[in-house]
Amino acid sequence: MILSSASAEPSGLLLAALSAAGAVAYAVAAAFAHLRPRTWRSVLVLAWLLHLAALVVDIGGIGAAPVNGSHAARFGFAPSLSMTIWLVTGVYLIESRFLPLPSAQRLLSVLGLLVMLVAWMFPGEYRPQAGSPLAPLHWAMGLASYGLCGVAVMHAVMLNRAERQMRAQKGQGAPALGTPLLRLERLTFQFVGAGVVVLSIALLLGVAFTPQWRWDHKTLFAVMGWVVLTGLLTGRRVFGWRGRRATRWLYFGAALLLLSYAGSRFVLEVVLQRPPV
């Protein structure tokens, strides 16, 4: 529910303050992406840390009243999107120390700004205890697969952009991206492979240890995403897929994963306004 009653709790006020501060920091990073790399990185790191603090307060339900006499985590479509972008930005901050990735600076700053505001408006609902000690690991692995696939998509976007620049320049000079295409392509598929491995573990944990597991639209989209991404890796290894064909498969698989949780929770929480199940 938009700006639910949780906003009046101490945790809601703290979340609002952290979200506002993080959004401002991301806005500054987006507006001044042309600054010296060290200065811009410092601003983005500050925004990233504020983003982390907001996630801890939101998902952890810090400062919130107990639910049914016990502490409960809070989650929903917006926190899942927020954590995904936070993970992608964290990987970018590490990777950009070793590789020039200037084309992602403003994009990640704008995405960080948007997801922080959306997560504040839709903080999610409190969840009961999971019923299995391994269920939280299933959720964590699922989010990690979101993040890894998000990083792969970011690299694929930069790869497509660099290829277009090379065709436009007709081979005259290196693309403005500043990263060798083959290296960027290799990184893209390394992140896809890591995402598939983590997603496989998440699905196995869900089947084996999560009492609420059932074959619904969320599970179906997740399995379809796994099939598409696994097919992409197989096609690359067996048939040598690359370029636009490979990135289209990646975009399709990532879109299915996005629908598997964030999309379904958006419909349930915002459109239908149903309680969590």
Give the integer Cα–Cα distance in Å for 182 and 179.
9
Q: Look at residues 97, 83, 104 and name the one whose alpha carbon lies nearest to residue 261.
A: 83
State the DSSP H helix or E strand holding residue 195, giving kind and residue range, or none if neither: helix 181-209
**Helix, strand, coil percent content, the chain, rounded in steps of 5:** 75, 0, 25
Mapped onto helix, strand or coil, the DSSP state of residue 32 is coil
Helices and strands of the chain, counted as H and E runs: 9, 2
Predicted confidence (pLDDT) per residue in 91-110, tens digit: 888 888 877 777 778 888 99
Predicted confidence (pLDDT) per residue in 198-210, tens digit: 999 988 888 777 6
Give the integer Cα–Cα distance in Å for 73 and 58.
8
| pLDDT at residue 70 in the model | 53
- Amino acid symbol at 175: P
Is the separation of the CB atoms in 120 and 19 below 8 Å?
A: yes
**pTM for the predicted model, two decimal places:** 0.77
| pLDDT at residue 142 in the model | 84
User: Which residue ranges make up each domain of the chain?
Assistant: 1-76+102-125, 130-277
State the DSSP H helix or E strand holding residue 75, giving kind and residue range, or none if neither: strand 74-75
Q: What angle do CA 17, 6, 262 make, to 5 degrees?
A: 90
Beta strand segments in 106-188, E = 125-126
Instruction: Pick out the chain residues at pLDDT < 70.
Output: 1-11, 60-74, 126-137, 170-179, 210-213, 263-277
| pLDDT at residue 175 in the model | 47
Q: Residue 202, exposed/middle/buried by CB under 10 A (0-12, 13-18, 19+)?
A: buried
